[in-house]
Amino acid sequence: MYRKNLALVAHDNRKIDLIEWVEYNKDRLIKHKLVCTGTTGRMVEKATGIDVTTLKSGPLGGDQQMGALIAEGKIDILIFFWDPMQPQPHDVDVKALLRISSLYNIPTACNRSTADFLISSPLFESSYIPAPQSFDEYLNRPL
């Protein structure tokens, strides 16, 4: 089995959904490294007992920290339960995080159904190198 680095982020109105999802999938997730933004990380640890690397809270720079980890190749999958019905004071950071996950071709789930599909994939338990996103990446890919 290949150990993945999973990023978990949730807006306030979706934190309970994410906690329930993590609890339901605890046996699969505990085999991997979890990285969370502040409050989400503390809630995941408290509810599940799973060790979590916790960044700053999203509005205090956690979303940007997570984006930096993605850009550095340190995140394999982003699970981001965001609330499309609530305006976020740090909406620019939220959009930047989603943009960076797309730019770096990171599998991203924005709801529970998609998260279930991601962790149910045979690729979840194995090594996976995303396809190049640009011509420069294509030329510099490992052979």
The catalytic position among 12, 17, 51, 63 is 63
In the residue annotation, 63 being an active-site residue is answered as yes
Structural contact between residues 71 and 104, judged by C-beta atoms closer than 8 angstroms = yes
- From residue 21, alpha-carbon distances to 28, 45, 47, 129, 133 in Å are 11, 13, 11, 26, 30
Q: Which residues are catalytic?
A: 63
